[in-house]
């Protein structure tokens, strides 16, 4: 659907939800897929994500009162808060609305002038809980729409930090910066090589010769909040503090493989050892993968993707039978350059690089094998790399 068609559709959704569509503007923020660098962003390591062309639309306008009303076309649910920060709180029963409310609360807290109420209607075309960052997409589109409606200055890096803060503090999910940054800073046909320790970044053109990125959605749902995500994060923090007894270092991402091998004997607990090993090796793999892509060595890039999955499966233990099946079956197919889980894991999606001529067979064969083994179907998407937030 073109932007013009989407805009008309959003205005219609808004009108149905709020009675009329006077003064409405329509905004968009993408989802993201991470090519490599998983569970490194809260360890001061590197990530390599890109924005998608699917994401979240928000039709919005300022209102004359101090109420902020939200409506989701996906969930057919409404929520209302006021612009008084002191009474905005996280409530489980608010469901998805906790994401926009959290962003508004965080903006208010930071002193951004949200001087009136707003009506916002959301519609997203990212499959929910798929590991493609539907929640960060809602956060960023909320911040972007609010900035545009009230006309304050907030650059995209600050916006991503603010949305992460909202997810950490309001929604109590201890996520890193990757998702919000990839979404706010997305660039068409480029992936973002981001050092999460310094927020220095470079755009790298994703040139895959005759191949394309294919996402396979396992349809196994995961909820970041209930998942083992926060547990993994605290295991890494414990491992880091033990390493700090013998080496001056501020994050696992600072360690080279050689340095890690020298100090790892302080990690006597096997689980902590494997978690830290993943964080260190995955960071180095990401650095190597980006230089492989830059020098046109797609084969090496694919091998590093495969190694990333193995490490996430064996050392970080965040895959599960659904994601492992998708990757194992992918690797059996002709024309597959690399395949791995993407996002937090525990369900969600895999990302594969597949030669164009083999994509049809890939989808058919992997889909069939998955259905046979898991008992329900996977969904496949051929990826186009999109840009960051914009006004339609």
Contacts of 20 (CB under 8 A, 6+ apart): none
Q: Is 343 in the site for ligand GLA (CB under 6 A)?
A: yes
The string over 180-195, giving b where at least 16 C-beta atoms fall within 10 Å of a residue's C-beta and e elsewhere, is: bbbbbbbbeebbbbbb
Contact between 38 and ligand GLA by CB under 6 A: the answer reads yes
Q: What is the DSSP letter of 385?
A: B
- Part of the chain binding ligand GLA (CB under 6 A), chosen from 39-47, 210-218, 257-265, 306-314: 39-47
Rounded CA-CA distance 325/313 in Å is: 11
Distance CA 10, CA 4 (A): 10
Among 24, 26, 41, 381, binds ligand GLA (CB under 6 A): 41
Residue with smaller CB distance to ligand GLA, 42 or 260: 42
Q: How far apart are CA 324 and CA 309, in angstroms?
A: 8
Instruction: Work out how close the CB of 4 gets to ligand GLA at its nearest, in angstroms, rounded to a whole number.
Output: 32
Cα dihedral 343, 188, 389, 194 sign:
positive
Which residue, 177 or 298, is less far from ligand GLA as judged by CB?
177
Q: Which of 42, 122, 123, 193 binds ligand GLA (CB under 6 A)?
A: 42
**Stretch of 34-42, 117-125, 206-214, 247-255 contacting ligand GLA, by CB under 6 A:** 34-42
- Reading the block at residue 371, the tokens are 């259905």
Residue closer to ligand GLA, measured from CB, 83 or 180: 180
Least separation in angstroms between residue 177's CB and ligand GLA is 7
- The CA–CA distances, whole Å, from 20 to 115, 160, 311 equal 22, 32, 52
Of these, 117, 124, 176, 253, which contacts ligand GLA (CB under 6 A)? 176
Residue with tokens 């994060």: 233
- The reply to whether 243 sits near ligand GLA by the rule CB under 6 A is no
Q: Give me the least distance between CB of 253 and ligand GLA, in Å please.
A: 12
Answer for which of 33, 68, 175, 366 binds ligand GLA (CB under 6 A) is 175
Q: Which residue shows structure tokens 């960023």?
A: 140
Question: Is 179 in the active site?
Answer: yes
Stretch that binds ligand GLA, among 22-30, 170-178, 284-292, 330-338 (CB under 6 A): 170-178
Element (H, E) at 104: helix 98-109
Q: Tell me which stretch binds ligand GLA (CB under 6 A): 33-41, 61-69, 146-154, 290-298.
A: 33-41
Q: Of residues 73, 119, 139, 179, which one binds ligand GLA by CB under 6 A?
A: 179
Confirm if 169 and 33 have CB atoms less than 8 A apart. no
- Size of the residue set binding ligand GLA (CB under 6 A): 10
The verdict on 344 binding ligand GLA (CB under 6 A) reads yes
Q: How far is the CB of 172 from ligand GLA (least distance, A)?
A: 13
270: which residues sit within 8 A by CB, 6+ positions away? none
CB-nearer residue toward ligand GLA: 33 or 114: 33
- Which listed residue (179, 189, 269, 270) is catalytic? 179
Taking CB under 6 A as the rule, does residue 178 contact ligand GLA?
A: yes
Where are the extended beta strands (E) located within 149-262?
190-195, 200-205, 211-217
Of residues 38 and 322, the one with the C-beta less far from ligand GLA: 38
Q: Which region holds residue 129: left if phi is over 0, alpha if psi is between -120 and 50, else beta?
A: left
Furthest-apart CA pair in the chain: how many Å?
A: 66
H or E segment to which residue 340 belongs: strand 336-342
Binding part of the chain for ligand GLA, among 141-149, 172-180, 290-298, 357-365 by CB under 6 A, reads: 172-180
How far apart CA 320 and CA 323 sit, in angstroms, is: 6
Looking at the annotation, which residues are catalytic? 179
| Contacts with ligand GLA, residue ranges (CB under 6 A) | 38-39, 41-42, 175-176, 178-179, 343-344
């Amino acid at each position: 659907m073109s932007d013009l068609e989407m805009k008309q559709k959003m205005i219609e959704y808004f009108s149905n939800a709020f009675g009329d569509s006077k003064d409405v503007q329509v905004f968009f923020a993408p989802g993201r897929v991470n090519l490599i660098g998983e569970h490194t962003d809260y360890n001061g390591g590197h990530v390599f994500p890109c924005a998608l062309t699917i994401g979240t639309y928000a039709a919005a306008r300022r209102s004359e009162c101090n109420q902020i009303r939200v409506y989701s076309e996906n969930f057919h649910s409404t929520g209302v808060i006021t612009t008084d920060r002191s009474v905005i709180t996280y409530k489980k029963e608010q469901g998805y609305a906790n994401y926009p409310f959290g962003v508004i609360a965080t903006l208010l807290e930071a002193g951004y002038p949200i001087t009136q109420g707003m009506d916002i209607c959301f519609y997203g075309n990212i499959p929910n809980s798929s590991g493609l960052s539907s929640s960060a997409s809602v956060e960023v589109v909320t911040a972007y729409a609010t900035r545009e409606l009230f006309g304050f200055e907030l650059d995209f890096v600050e916006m991503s930090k603010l949305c992460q803060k909202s997810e950490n503090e309001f929604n109590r999910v201890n996520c890193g910066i990757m998702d919000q940054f990839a979404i706010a800073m997305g660039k068409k046909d480029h992936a973002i090589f981001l050092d999460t320790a310094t927020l220095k970044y470079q755009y790298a053109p994703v040139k895959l010769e005759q191949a394309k990125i294919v996402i396979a959605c396992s349809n196994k749902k995961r909820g970041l909040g209930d998942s083992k995500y926060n547990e993994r994060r605290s295991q890494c923090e414990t491992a880091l503090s033990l390493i700090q007894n013998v080496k001056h270092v501020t994050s696992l991402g600072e360690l080279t493989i050689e340095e890690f091998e020298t100090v790892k004997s302080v990690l006597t607990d096997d689980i902590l050892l494997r978690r830290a090993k993943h964080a260190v090796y995955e960071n180095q793999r990401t650095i190597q993968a980006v230089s492989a892509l830059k020098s046109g060595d797609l084969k090496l890039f694919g091998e590093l993707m495969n190694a990333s999955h193995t490490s996430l499966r064996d050392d970080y233990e965040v895959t599960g039978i659904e994601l492992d099946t998708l990757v194992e079956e992918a690797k059996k197919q002709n024309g597959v350059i690399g395949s791995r889980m993407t996002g937090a894991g525990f369900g969600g999606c895999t990302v594969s690089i597949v030669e164009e001529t083999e994509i049809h067979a890939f989808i058919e064969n992997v889909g069939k094998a998955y259905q046979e083994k898991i008992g329900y179907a996977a969904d496949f998407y051929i990826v186009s790399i999109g840009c960051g937030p914009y006004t339609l």
